[in-house]
Structure 1
Amino acid sequence: MDRREQMGMLNTFIGGTLWGINGVMGSYLFLHKNVTTNWLVPYRLLIAGLIMLMYLYYKNKSKIFDVLRDTKDFIAVIIFGILGMMGTQYTYFTAIQYSNAAIATVLTYFGPTLVLVYVCLRERRKPLKYEIVAILLSMFGVFVLATHGNITTLQISFKALVWGMLSAMTLVLYTVQPASILKKYGAPTVVGWGMLIGGLLSTIFIKPWKVDVIFDFTTFIFFIIIIFSGTIAAFILYLSGVTMIGPTKASIIACIEPVSATIFSSIFMGIKFGFLDILGFVCIMSTVFIVAIFGKKGKKK
């Protein structure tokens, strides 16, 4: 393993860990500072988008506006900003609001299974054997996590389950919809505009300033960390890791996100998880490994 690959793995690992911590910080603000999704998501996207685009303008000057000059691409970015960027962030943090960072993150990781189902439908083919195993494992994991095997009761709130599933669905849009513009303009530019557009529109329509938040020094520090560490730094680190080691290894290493969310939820939030919770986590997360490893083998053949 050369130095470049080691650096790529480290960047991806840190990026995924920061995403997990980011969710725990959001959970803390929800519980102790009267923060809601309607306050956190609009401001987070708006400020992070502005900072990222300013940085990209410093590096690339007017090239960042190329995506706005093509009508078709501009519409695609708007859709990505609303349904992809704002959609994933809003549903994810709402799931945290009704449960905790660990459960919300794991439910969001049901998204790759939905992407797999979408690909099979789009290509009008039956899923391969390993794809069937991944789908069944993922569904079983959600079932165990939500019910602990008892179909008459829910172990997490119904709202948490619904918003977690919506988070997984919006992850499909986030993954599939911007494929063409990502290739054309690059991920940082598309994500930067997506954040800005999603943040601007959500700020206008949600009106986060109406939320009565306890905005003290702790809230300010956590909010700044969420923007710079959990949003900008995490994305840049993960993206640089993908370029160094490829998407297959990066997707596997990024599974540290729900692990870190679980560990930090236990340490800092005092949340306890039982055997069946862990079993559900493992079943859902294992699908990422299955698809990444066997999918790569299938491409080689």
Structure 2
Amino acid sequence: MIKKEKMGMLSTFIGGVLWGINGTMASYLFMNKNITSNWLAPYRLMSAGLLMLIFLFFKEKNKIFEVLKNKKDLFQLIFFGIFGMMGTQYTYFTTIQHSNAGIATVLQYSGINLILLYSCLKDKRFPRKFELIALVLAILGIFILATHGNINALKVSPIALFWGLVSAFTLVIYSMSALSLIKKYGTALITAWGMLIGGAVLSPFAKPWNEAGIYDNTTFTLFLLIVLFGTILSFVLYLSGVAIIGPTKGSMISCIEPVAATLFSTVILSTPFKFLDAVGFFFILSTVFIVAYFDNK
């Protein structure tokens, strides 16, 4: 393996780990500082989006405003910012708030199967064999994770399961709604604008300024770490790595995110994690490997 590819894999791996730690830090704020997703999601989005745009402005100057001058592109960007970026972030953090980082992350990962279904409907075709296998595994994984095999008893709260599945649905919008914009303007710029727009639109509804959390040095330190490391740095490292090793290997390595989220939540926050949880995680995450491998072939 050449040195460049090793660096690409390492970069992607670290990006995924940082995403996982990001969820654990959010869990800590929810559990110990009375912080809610109504406070964290809008402020995180706006802060990260603004910082990324400032960085891109010094790098590309007025080019960062070109997407705003095209009405069609602007409408698509607004749609992506609200229903894609804001949708995934708010539902993800809300799921963490009502469960834990590991469950929230793995439920969101099940969205890859919804992307498969969307592709089948769009192309007017039946799912291929590997796609059907992935869908069945995802459904089994969610069932085991939610019930531990007992259909009469939910092990994940109904509200957490609801927001987790909505998070999977918004992942489809996030992944599919800005493809042409990213191709035209670049991933970093569209993501930055999407974050800023999503956070700005969410704020009047979430009203984060009314949230009665504990706003001490620990809260703001963790918030800063979430913005800088769990959002900006993780994003840069992951995309830099994928640019070298390709999306197939990248999507497989990104499975470290729910593993890291679960590991750090269990060790640092003493979040309970049982054998059947691991089975559910395995089924859902295996779909990523199956889809990445066979779709690449």
TM-score range, shorter chain: over 0.9
After superposition, give the CA deviation of every residue in 1:108-150 in whole Å (9 maximum; x if it has no partner). 1101011011101111101111111000001100000001111
Paired with 2:200 and 2:4, the residues of 1 have a C-alpha distance of 38
- Give the distance between the partners of 2:286 and 2:75, measured in 1 at CA: 36
How far residue 2 of structure 1 moved from its aligned partner, in angstroms, is: 1.2
Distance (whole Å) between structure 1 residues aligned to residue 205 and residue 149 of structure 2:
40
> What does residue 199 of structure 1 align with?
199
1:248 aligned residue: 248
Alignment of 1:273-284 (within 5 A): 273-284=273-284
Counterpart secondary structure, 2:280: helix
SS of 1:125's partner is coil
Q: Residue in 2 aligned with 1:289? A: 289
1:49 aligns with 2:57: no
Is 1:39–2:39 an aligned residue pair? Answer: yes
1:177 and 2:177 correspond: yes
Between the aligned partners of 1:180 and 1:205, the Cα distance in structure 2 is 29
What is the TM-score when the length of structure 2 is the normalising length? 0.99
Give the letter for the 1:257 counterpart.
E
Structure 1 segments unaligned to the other structure (5+ residues): none
Q: Which amino acid aligns with 1:153?
A: A
Moved over 4 A (4+): none
Mapped partners of 1:38, 1:157: distance in 2: 19
Does the alignment pair 1:115 with 2:88? no
Aligned-pair RMSD on alpha carbons? Answer: 0.6
Q: CA deviation digits over 1:252-283, x for unaligned, max 9?
A: 00000000001001100101211111000000
Q: Match of 1:156?
A: 156
Match of 1:147 in 2: 147
Aligned to 2:60: 60
1:258-273 superposed matches below 5 A: 258-273=258-273
Hey, what does 1:227 align to over in structure 2?
227
The equivalent residue for 1:138 is 138
**Equivalent residue for 1:15?**
15
Task: Find the aligned partners of 2:203 and 2:51 in 1 and give their Cα distance.
Answer: 16
1:28 aligns with 2:28: yes
**C-alpha displacement at 1:201, in angstroms?**
1.4
Query: Match of 2:166, as an amino acid?
Result: L
Q: CA deviation at 1:79?
A: 0.5
Q: Hey, what's the Cα distance between the residues in 1 that align with 2:262 and 2:101?
A: 7
Deviations 1:207-226 (A, max 9, x none): 21100110111101100000
- Which structure 2 residues correspond to residues 62-77 of structure 1 after superposition, within 5 A? 62-77=62-77
Query: What fraction of aligned residue pairs are identical, expressed as a percent?
Result: 58
Q: What amino acid maps onto 2:235 in structure 1?
A: F
Distance 2:193 2:164 in 1: 25
Q: What SS is found at the alignment partner of 2:155?
A: coil
For 1:84 and 1:201, locate their aligned partners in 2 and report how far apart those are by CA, in whole Å: 12
* In 2: Cα distance, 1:261 partner to 1:18 partner: 9
C-alpha distance in 1 between matches for 2:125 and 2:168:
22
CA distance in 2 between partners of 1:166 and 1:276 (Å): 23
Aligned-partner SS, 1:156: coil
Structure 1 CA distance, aligned partners of 2:129 and 2:105? 26
User: How many Å separate the matches in 1 of 2:114 and 2:203?
Assistant: 29
Q: CA deviation at 1:205?
A: 3.0
